[in-house]
Amino acid sequence: MTELDQGTFDEAIAGGPLLVDFWAPWCRPCKALEPILAELPLAVARVNVD
């Protein structure tokens, strides 16, 4: 998974289909989804909203 921030977000979403996971380190459901998202057969990127 790729970590996105303000500087890389626009470029990443312009490259084609992309699943963006908005997450926070304190979010238990976010942490539970991490291994599932890592196994998806498509491009996944993360944005830390904290």
Question: Tell me: the pLDDT tens digits for 24-50?
Answer: 999 999 999 999 999 988 889 999 999
pLDDT for residue 26:
97
Per the CB < 8 A criterion, the answer to whether 47 and 21 are in contact is yes
Range 1-6 average pLDDT: 87
Q: What is the CATH number of domain 2-48?
A: 3.40.30.10
Q: What is the pTM of this model?
A: 0.76
Give the residue carrying structure tokens 């996105």.
4
Q: Active-site residues: which are they?
A: 27, 30
Domains of the chain, residue spans? 2-48
CB-based burial, 8-30: b 16+ in 10 Å, e otherwise: eeeebeeeeeeeeeebeeeeeeb
Range 5-33 average pLDDT: 91
Range 10-35 average pLDDT: 92
Predicted confidence band at 13 (pLDDT cuts at 50, 70, 90)?
confident
How many other C-beta atoms can be found within 10 angstroms of the C-beta atom of residue 34? 13
